[in-house]
Amino acid sequence: MTILHLPLLFSAVLLLTGCATTLPVDHDRKPSVALAAPESTELGRFFKSEIATHPGKSGVVLVPTGEWGFRSRAGLSNLAEKSIDVQYYIWETDTSGLVLAERLLRAADRGVRVRMLVDHVTTKETDFKFARMDYHPNIEIRLFNPYANRSFRTLEFLFGLERLNHRMHNKAYIVDNAIAVVGGRNIGDNYFGVDAAANFRDLDLTVVGPVVQDVSRSFDQYWNSDFAVPVSAIIEERLSPEEFDAKKKALYRWVDKLEDYPYPIDTTSDAILAKLEEFRDSFIWANAKALYDEPDKPETDEETVADYLIQLGKEKDHEVMIESAYVIPGPEGVERTRRNNERGIRQRLLTNSLATNNVAAAHAGYAKYRRALIKEGLELYELRPDANSVKKNWSLLAGRSTAVLHTKAFVVDGELVAVGSFNLDPRSIALNTEIVILVESDELAVQLLAYMDEGVQPENSYRVILETDVETGIERLVWITEIDGKEVRYYSDPEASTWHRFSSWFMGLLPIEEHL
C-alpha cells in the first residue's frame, strides 16, 4: 500500500465507523399492530368454548420433537386467514427454512398479512431471499438492528460493538393472534431433526388464550421500535413484478417436487383442524404470561427477563430443574448455587458437553465454572453426541448426525414452568433480548420433568462429578455414562475432537466472557 492509498483507507474507516454506530434512518416505515379480533377467524373460534370455560387462563401444550415443531408452524400457516407474525433470531435458507417461507408466501397469496421480523445475523444469500419475499404486497420484512454494510461485517462489528452486540434472540410464530408457538427453536433443518450433520434437542410451547395477546404485544413493540428496519432499506436488489412472480413460482415448483422431505407440507385445512381436534384435550389450562425484554434492553432500566427469573429463583422452596444449551454462570451464579444448596434446595442442570456444544467460546466460558458449581451442590449433566432420546425423534435423513442441546427450560418446585429463548449466560442476561412463557401448572411441570428426566438418563448424557484420585490425591472431573448397559467413566471431555479441545482452550484465554 502506498501513502496515496492512506486517505482512501481512512475515509473508508470513517464511513464504516459512522454506519456501525447508528441505525439506518432513511426509510419509510409505517406502524402496525396485531389483529384486533382473533375470534373472527377459524382458529379463534376453534378454542372459543375452552377459553370461555377457563376464564383468565391460557391453554398450553409442549412441542418436544422437531417433527411437531415443523408441523405446528407449517400447519398453522396453512390455516391462517388474517395475519401471521413471525419473530426469529435465525431463519435459515435450507430446506426447512425455504419450505416455511413458501408457506408464508402461499398465505400472503390468500390475502393474509405477513409481518416477518428477523435479527440481522443472516448471510448475503438469506438477505436477498428476504428482500425478494418483501416484494409481495401482503408481506413486510424488517431486520432487527441491521448491519449497514453487508460486505464488511467484521469491520463494522468491531467499530460498532456497542450497538451491533445487541441482538434479538426472541422466537415466536403467531397466527391470527389466536395461537402462537414460542420457545427455543429457530427456523432451519437442525431445529426440526432433518439435518445430515447435527440436530438439536429443543423445546417449544404452543399456546392459546390470553397469553397469545401478551406475545402479540411483545411482537408489536419490537416491530414498531427504531431497531426494526425494513429490509428494503438494507438490500438494494430491485425486482420487476414479473421477476418477483417468476422467482415465487420457481419456489412453489421446487417445494411441490420435494420428495424426500419427511414431514407433510401442503396439508389441507380440514386435515389440520382434524389434527387440532385430536390435540384439543392435550392443552393444559393454567395461569400463564409472557415475559419479554424491551427492544432497547441494554439502554433501559426496565426489569428484564433475567431479573424476573433470578427473583423467581430466590422464592423457590425445594428444587429447580434446568435444561439450558449455554451456561456461563459467572461468580454471581456460583454464589446463587451455594446459597440454594445451604437452604437445602435440590439443583439439577443438563447442558451441552464439549462434544455437542456448537459454540466453542460458550463452552470455554462454562468450563471454568464447572468444578465450582459441582462443589456448591449442583447435579450436573452434559449431553452425549449420540443421545438416544434425541435421535429417536429425528427423520431418517438425520440418522448419523450429532446431537446438540438447544433447549431453554426451567421447572421450579414442581409447579412453575418457564420455556423460551433464555440461556443462562451473559448474552441472555444483559445483551440479547429474550422471551419466556411462564406457566403455573403442576400438570405441565410433570410433563416437562418427564422430558428433562429422559435427557439425563445414562444413555443420553454424562453425569459430571468431582472425584479425588487415590494415587495422586488430586481432585478431578469424571464423566459417568452407560454403554451397552455397562458403566463407563471418562477423565477428560468425552468424544471431543482435537479441534474441539483446542478451540475451547484458545477461547478460554480471551477476555470475552461478558460477550458470551
Q: What is the pLDDT along the chain (516 residues), one digit of tens a residue?
A: 444 443 444 444 444 444 555 676 667 789 999 988 888 999 999 999 999 999 999 999 999 999 999 999 999 999 999 999 999 999 999 999 999 999 999 999 999 999 999 998 876 667 778 888 999 999 999 999 998 766 667 677 777 777 788 899 999 999 999 999 999 999 999 999 999 888 999 999 999 999 999 999 999 999 999 999 999 888 877 888 999 999 999 999 999 999 889 999 988 888 888 888 888 899 999 999 999 999 999 888 889 999 999 888 888 889 999 999 999 999 999 999 999 999 999 999 999 999 999 999 999 999 999 999 999 999 999 999 999 877 666 555 555 678 999 999 999 999 999 999 999 999 999 999 999 999 999 999 999 999 999 999 999 999 999 999 888 889 999 999 999 999 999 999 999 999 989 999 999 888 888 887
Looking at residue 423, what is its pLDDT?
98
Domain span(s) for CATH 3.30.870.10 in the chain: 28-282, 293-515
Q: Around Cβ 116, how many Cβ atoms within 10 Å?
A: 22
Q: Is 293-515 CATH 3.30.870.10? A: yes
- Give per-residue pLDDT as tens, 405-427: 999 999 999 999 999 999 999 99
Instruction: Name 194's Cβ contacts closer than 8 Å, sequence gap at least 6.
Output: 66, 70, 95, 96, 261, 262, 263, 394, 395, 397, 398
pTM given for the model:
0.93
Residue 303: CB atoms within 10 Å: 12
DSSP 401: P
Catalytic residue set: 169, 171, 176, 406, 408, 413
Return all residues near 338 (Cβ < 8 A) that are at least 6 apart: 376, 377
The predicted-structure confidence for 1-42, as pLDDT tens digits, reads as follows: 444 443 444 444 444 444 555 676 667 789 999 988 888 999
What CATH homologous superfamily does 28-282 map to?
A: Endonuclease Chain A (3.30.870.10)
DSSP states along 156-210: HHHHTHHHHT--B---EEEETTTEEEEES--BSGGGTT--SSEEEE--EEEEESH
pLDDT at 26: 61
DSSP per-residue codes, 52-113: HHSTT-EEEEEE-SHHHHHHHHHHHHHH-SSEEEEEES-B--SHHHHHHHHHHHHHHHTT-E
pLDDT given for residue 372 in this prediction: 98
Question: In this structure, what C-alpha cell is assigned to residue 143?
Answer: 431486520
The per-residue pLDDT for 8 is 42
CA distance 370 to 463: 12
The pLDDT, as a whole number, for residue 237 is 76
Q: Which residues pair with 436 in a beta bridge?
A: 291, 420
